[in-house]
Amino acid sequence: MDEKEILAWAEASGISVEQAKEYLKILEPLDKKEDAILREVFSGATGPVLELSAGRGEFTRQLLEKFIKPEGKLYTTERLPEVAEKLVQAIPDKRLEMLVSDSSTLPLPDGSAGLVIFRAALHDFVSDDGDVAKALKDSVRVLAPGGTFVIYDKIKDGYKDVETESAEGRMERMNVELAALEGKACWGLHYLKDYISLMEKMGFAGIQTSVLVMPDQPGYVKYMTGNLHERRPAYVKRWGEKVNALLDSLYADFQKTPAKALSMAFIWGKKR
Ligand SMILES: C[S@@+](CC[C@H](N)C(=O)[O-])C[C@H]1O[C@@H](n2cnc3c(N)ncnc32)[C@H](O)[C@@H]1O
């Protein structure tokens, strides 16, 4: 973040620039730890990498900058065409190929990727029945035998009732409620042990984990509230007027929920 971005973020969060910088300083060792884990995960990988659910492409950019070799290949997926289009325009890189696709129907041959990875995506996965093992089945098909499968996601470890104990946890319930508005199911937040069970269920061997304990973000509630106010018209456009009640309830809950952060976890294993 440059000085201008820090100033804008501090203002939107109702905190001082000093507080903002202090928080960014606390993130530095965590960024180093994240880098070290990713280096380990990528160390034995050969062949193209497949990223699921790129969203706005922040992680895609990080993968291209640090972990995809100059002659390497990164397939990324995004199921929403308008989001995919923006990403392609924002990241002009000849190593990147965008697949506009749901994780359950990937247009790639069997065993064509050496590594499958996705960040902050599975807890947001929307499907007809909420069965994530089923939703991920095609990405396992696309992974070569011996290839590495990496889930990197938010976890609710440390909380009994994450929605009332953490504003970020309460925020995540919104995705579950939005999916329900469409008659669909969103997986939502889970514990680390649930991810391990999922990896076992999908048949991966040598499962390993590593957790990044994230610091509480100063001004999180104010930042998110302002952000949601700005985004309200976009929510109404996509989900209709009924979304207003969900947003109102989120604002109300935010006022009484501590601004506690969620940890992030890596869970990875090899395809047999
Ligand atoms: C929070 S965003 C991802 C953020 C991004 N990976 C990053 O690290 O910056 C969650 C993404 O999951 C995608 N998603 C939801 N359900 C999905 C599904 N069934 N298959 C594939 N992607 C899905 C959404 O389209 C959205 O882009």
**C-beta 103 within 6 A of ligand 1:** yes
Ligand 1 nearest atom to the CA of residue 55, by list position: 27
Residue 198 has pLDDT above 90, yes or no: yes
* Cα(203)–Cα(138) distance, integer angstroms: 13
269, 209 in Cβ contact below 8 A?
no
Q: What is the pLDDT of residue 250?
A: 96
User: If you average pLDDT over residues 75-102, what whole number do you get?
Assistant: 96
Q: Is 235 exposed, middle or buried (0-12, 13-18, 19+ CB in 10 A)?
A: middle
185, 246 in Cβ contact below 8 A?
no
Q: What are the tens digits of pLDDT across the range 132-182?
A: 999 999 999 999 999 999 999 999 999 999 999 999 999 999 999 999 999
Tokens of 148: 């590495």
Ligand 1 nearest atom to the CA of residue 83, by list position: 27
Q: From the CB of residue 14, how many other CB atoms can be counted at a distance below 10 Å?
A: 14
**C-beta 123 within 6 A of ligand 1:** no
Q: State the fold for domain 3-270.
A: Rossmann fold (3.40.50)
**C-beta 124 within 6 A of ligand 1:** yes
For the chain, which residues make up each domain, given as ranges? 3-270
Distance (angstroms) between ligand 1 centre and the Cα of 44 equals 26
Q: What are the tens digits of pLDDT across the range 220-268?
A: 999 999 888 889 999 999 999 999 999 999 999 999 999 999 999 999 9
**C-beta 62 within 6 A of ligand 1:** no
Residue with tokens 């890596």: 266
Distance (angstroms) between ligand 1 centre and the Cα of 41 equals 21
* Cα(29)–Cα(15) distance, integer angstroms: 22
Give the three-class secondary structure for 81. Answer: helix
Give the three-class secondary structure for 104. Answer: coil
